[in-house]
Amino acid sequence: MTPRPGRSTFQLKFFFAAISAAVLALAVAGVLFATSMRRQMDQRIEATLVVEARLAADLLAAATTQTTVPALDAEADRIGELIGARVTLIAPDGTVVGDSFETLDDVAAMENHGRRPEVLEAGAHGVGRSRRFSDTIKLDMLYVAVPVRHPAVGFVRVALPLTDVRHQLQTVLTATLTALGLALLGGAAIAWVFSTRIGQRVRLIAGIAERYQRGDLTPPHLGFGDDELGTVARALDASVQEVGRRLDEQARDRTRMEAILSGMVEGVIVVDAQGRLQLVNDAARQMLKLDDPAIGRPYVETIRLPAIVELVAAVLSGRTPEALQFSPPRDPARTIIARAAPSSGAAAYGLILVLHDITDLRRADQIRRDFVANVSHELRTPLTAIRGYVEALSEGDATADESQTFLEIIARHTQRMERLVKDLLRLARLDAGQETLDLAACETRGLADAVVADLAPEAAARRQRLEVAVAAPADLVRGDPAKLHDALRNLVANAITYAPEGTVIRIGAALEDGRVALSVADEGPGIPEEDLSRVFERFYRVDKSRARDPGGTGLGLAIVKHLVELHGGTVRAENRAEGGARFVVTLPLA
Ligand code: ADP
């Protein structure tokens, strides 16, 4: 920033320049004026003296009777008094016969004036002039002599002391100098006013420029003026405002781009043509586990993955590489697909790498394939059995009892397939969101009693007892009664299936963290700890051998989980300390 003294320097410089010009102009004018004045005055005084000399000659020519020296000297005194100058009368031979400044005796003593330059010149040209020191009266004098027609006088000489002339000149010069001095003062005042005004404008413009430099681009309230200074300031102001607008736009674009990049699920990495890392967005940092990417440094210092190095090298050498799949070394369970393309269509501007994390996609794909394999497998077992027994029946070798048994087996497998297809369809409906909730406040006990009544024959067949215990604060639950019935029925049916004969199955309802917790506890073998979270997966069975086929589809708990989550609830499996499994469903209070 320019310091304050620098600002006033401009004003002072401007002022001194103006005043110097004024002084110079006035000095030159003064000298010229004084010289011409002096010349003019000299000429005028000389001309006056000539006129006076002629006048004196005329006066003398009229008094031709005066021929004696005393009479002539008296005449000289008289004429001298008349014209106010020294008058000397000189005889044609050069003898002084009268002088207005001298007494009669002194006149007689005066030397011959016949060789005086003015007298010689007057004799030759009619008028003679001379400036010199007068020995007689000891003064610098201006002499003018003219011839005269008179019997005793040849020349009349008029003289004026030069001190008089100089005095007159001095007066004029003093007046001139005073006028010049006043003019200079006036000029200085005007120069000061103008320099102050222009200094203020320059300071105003400099102040605005400094403000712009600090980044504050608010336009000034005052105008810049209509002269060239104003035009320059306006042009610069317009350029600065334009640059400011563009910078603003760029900043907005950048912020928008950064927001887009940081909000993207895809990882984006930008590398310039020299292979220096320019940008790594948040998604890319997370995918590649880059804690502190070295922006502006060669990208290999940050990313050493062979797949990325290969892609970057390919684009920088002008090729269009295929997408590459890789797993980050620090996270081998993930799969990332990387594509690279040159920025702005040419490798000269660097390149952009886009990373897609396809781990979830692949997992979903795997789940889908496993599901299809599982369904096929689940259908193949009963179908193989049915086909075998149908063939055995169609051969006609079986006895009536055997045929009966075969038909029962066929019927059981058919039912199993039917259950499977029913469960699959229900899951498909739940997946597609086609099952909507019909919410109501349901009585917990009523819900449990209905399930108990439903499954009483199965429990009785296995000599199991079903007990219901509902704590008072949990007697109402908010849910779709039909769907809650299905979920609870599934859990109790599982308990009946997996717990040994003659055991007790307890259905309970209690408050848990402000929610209703419905539980089904049995005295069966329980579930291995590592399978507790997985039993809710489709077709997941603890006993994978299927040797001991309890007739389930492997989809029951998946449907329970779906139904409960539809209510905004949770379901978990746990093992009881005293043995047996417990399934807990939590639901919102009514
Ligand atoms: P399934 O039709 O095979 O019963 P489910 O989804 O209902 O399918 O159950 C999944 C698996 O969870 C079962 O195969 C079984 O191994 C286990 N399981 C479910 N309930 C119980 C329980 N009460 N006791 C022990 N294991 C159970």
List pLDDT tens digits, range 113-128. 999 999 999 999 999 9
Query: Do 373 and 452 share a domain, yes or no?
Result: no
Residue 549 Cβ < 6 Å to ligand 1: no
Cα–Cα distance, 539 to 553 (Å, whole number):
7
Query: Do 382 and 525 share a domain, yes or no?
Result: no
Q: What is the pLDDT of residue 276?
A: 93
Domain annotation covers residue 357: no
Q: Is the distance from CB of 180 to CB of 26 less than 8 angstroms?
A: yes
CATH classification of the domain holding 505: 3.30.565.10
Give the range among 228-237, 244-253, 380-389, 540-549 with minimum mean pLDDT.
Answer: 540-549
Residues in the chain, how many?
Answer: 590
Structural domain tally of the chain? 5
Of 296, 331, 351, the residue at which a domain comes to its end is 351
Residue 22's Cβ-side half-sphere holds a number of Cα atoms within 13 Å equal to: 19
Domain annotation covers residue 174: no
Q: What is the pLDDT of residue 252?
A: 95
Q: What is the pLDDT of residue 439?
A: 93
Give the range among 38-42, 288-292, 473-477 with minimum mean pLDDT.
Answer: 38-42
From first CA to last CA, the distance across the chain in angstroms is 73
CA distances from 40 to 161, 163, 399, 467 (A): 18, 17, 169, 147
Cα–Cα distance, 78 to 188 (Å, whole number):
55
Calculate the dihedral angle through the C-alpha atoms of 56, 60, 66, 68, rounding to the nearest 10 degrees.
50
Residue 130 Cβ < 6 Å to ligand 1: no
Say which residue the tokens 């063939």 belong to.
391
Alpha-helical segments (H) within 214-280: 228-263
pLDDT surpasses 70 at 8? no
Average pLDDT over residues 474-479: 92
Domain annotation covers residue 39: yes
CATH classification of the domain holding 304: 3.30.450.20
Q: What is the pLDDT of residue 448?
A: 96
pLDDT digit string (tens) for 417-448?
Answer: 999 999 999 999 999 999 999 999 999 999 99
Residue 216's pLDDT band (boundaries 50, 70, 90)?
A: confident
Q: What is the pLDDT of residue 2?
A: 41
Kindly give, in sequence order, each residue whose CB lies less than 8 Å from that of residue 323, ignoring residues fewer than 6 positions away.
337, 338, 339
Cα of 484 from ligand 1 centre, angstroms: 18
Domain annotation covers residue 216: no
Query: Do 441 and 556 share a domain, yes or no?
Result: yes
Average pLDDT over residues 536-543: 88
Of 412, 431, 450, the residue at which a domain comes to its end is 431
CA distances from 537 to 114, 403, 418, 555, 571 (A): 156, 38, 20, 8, 12
Give the range among 159-173, 388-402, 408-422 with minimum mean pLDDT.
Answer: 159-173
Domain annotation covers residue 222: no
Domain annotation covers residue 175: no
Give residue 575's domain range: 435-587
Domain annotation covers residue 224: no
Q: Report the SS3 class of residue 521.
A: strand
Domain annotation covers residue 189: no
Q: What is the pLDDT of residue 18?
A: 87
DSSP 348: G
Query: Do 546 and 442 share a domain, yes or no?
Result: yes
Query: Do 481 and 569 share a domain, yes or no?
Result: yes
Residue 445 Cβ < 6 Å to ligand 1: no
Q: What is the pLDDT of residue 549?
A: 60
Residue 117 Cβ < 6 Å to ligand 1: no
Which residue has the CA at smallest separation from atom 2 of ligand 1? 552
Which residue has the CA at smallest separation from atom 13 of ligand 1? 541
